[in-house]
Amino acid sequence: MISSITYENSLDFAQKMDALDSLKQFRNYFHIPLIHNQEAIYLCGNSLGLQPKAARNTIEQEMLHWQTLAVEGHFLGKQPWLTYHKQFRPLLSNLTGALPHEVVAMNNLTTNLHLMMISFYQPTSDRYLIIMEAGAFPSDQYAVESQVRFHGFDPSDAIIEIKPREGEHILHTEDIVQAIINPENKPALVLFGGVNYYTGQVFDMQAISKAAHEAGAYVGFDLAHAIGNVSLHLHDWGTDFAVWCSYKYLNSSPGGISGAFVHERHASNPDLPRLAGWWGYDEATRFQMKKGFIPQHGADGWQLANAPILLMAVHRASLDIFQEAGLENLRQKSILLTGYLEFLIQNDPILNQTLHIITPSNSKERGCQLSMLAAINGKQIFDKITDAGVIGDWREPNVIRLSPVPLYNSFEDIYRCGETLSRCVREVNII
Ligand SMILES: *Cc1c(COP(=O)(O)O)cnc(C)c1O
């Protein structure tokens, strides 16, 4: 794959790029949705990833096991249900930069965030602050507020939100680090998104982890928009915990199985407070069904309940594709694809005047998503491109998010998106 490139605004160029793309066959692994009976230009993987064609088959296998084996399916078949979750260890550890026993597929994202905060937010009268990014995803805000209240503190006092500088949209790492290590703050927990859902900014998770530990706090990340999108090294960064969902870049079905990371240093610390359930119990003796909870070593020890196999079957189909494609290869293509979309917007004078990209221009500070502020008529532009077959998403009050996904988007998709945007912006501006 080419690492630096001179982009051109032409179909011919886009098709040449596709011909050179060693990952182009992966598009055929997915169902592409239709708009007006034509394949859509789907740039919404930040919200819901496309359906892997293989998912139907992996679900049907488990339906068949249920049909023919019933309860014996826990022990028989190719992937017995009792240990079904274990197949995700290598796959998820590759995606997160973790050791295999530091990751587990379970629950959904907000549930996992609460479970992790039970363990890693232990406020005292002297140290009770949570530092987070301003404008975090609403579910995270509600989870944090409710945890703070649950411990008897006042969210307006206990939560510090780091805001962009006046007139800016993205955060400076030095401002984040300063707020964390400021001796007046004394945080109990630092909680950040890996990638901010609104701006698409990738936060410096290594610097944030280091600063949090220097300040004597635990640190956790919500990787909803980061996993399957950017490189992660949770183990080496020393991050205490992380959570994610799998229906965005991981293409594992709406509301699909989520995941969590717990750093090895907490793997066998039975003294960490946690909410327990039988599936987190030490495997060797779980079925003795004795009183007194003994956690399984590693992230598995945070599981509550037996696994939703049908959701996990989809997850398996999807993660196998990542394994085959390789995250580093995907990342290289992603940088080129997103760079191409940026080029097409910034090199069209009318588009460039109308749509202001707020996502950082440095590829190290962004994943595949570009967020753009519409100077005028944003919603009309958005509705028009949707009708013309470009699926992105709209965030009030005036942001359009478009995310070229390297697994299933082509350079031709991006070229056509640019062409559609340009036409629709001109039409709306004339009206
Ligand atoms: C998508 C997303 C969620 C959604 O939470 P669910 O529990 O999966 O409904 C939460 N937080 C962030 C940052 C997200 O991007």
Ligand 1 pocket, residue 222 CB under 6 Å: yes
Of ligand 1's listed atoms, the one at least distance from the Cα of 247 is 8
Phi first, then psi, for residue 366 (nearest 5°) are: -150, 160
pTM: 0.96
Q: What is the CATH number of domain 59-322?
A: 3.40.640.10
pLDDT at 288: 87
Please tell me the residue having the least CA distance from ligand 1 atom 1.
224
- pLDDT tens digits for 228-280? 999 999 999 999 999 999 999 999 999 999 999 999 999 988 789 999 999 99
What CA–CA distance (Å, rounded) separates 275 from 115?
7
Q: Where in the chain is the domain with CATH 3.90.1150.10?
A: 11-30+326-429
Q: Which residues contact 321 (CB under 8 A, 6 or more apart)?
A: 26, 29, 52, 54, 251, 407
Q: What is the pLDDT of residues 126-150, one digit of tens each?
A: 999 999 999 999 999 999 999 999 9
Per-residue pLDDT at 1 = 47
**Each residue of 201-231: pLDDT tens digit?**
999 999 999 999 999 999 999 999 999 999 9
Give the tens place of pLDDT for each residue, 160-193: 999 999 999 999 999 999 999 999 999 999 999 9
CA torsion 180-258-198-365 (nearest 10°) is 60
Confirm or reject: Cβ of 193 under 6 Å from ligand 1: yes
**263 marked as part of a ligand binding site:** no
Residue intervals of the chain classified under CATH 3.40.640.10 are: 59-322
The CATH superfamily assigned to 11-30+326-429 is Aspartate Aminotransferase, domain 1 (3.90.1150.10)
In this prediction, residues 52-59 reach a mean pLDDT of: 98
Mean pLDDT of the chain: 96
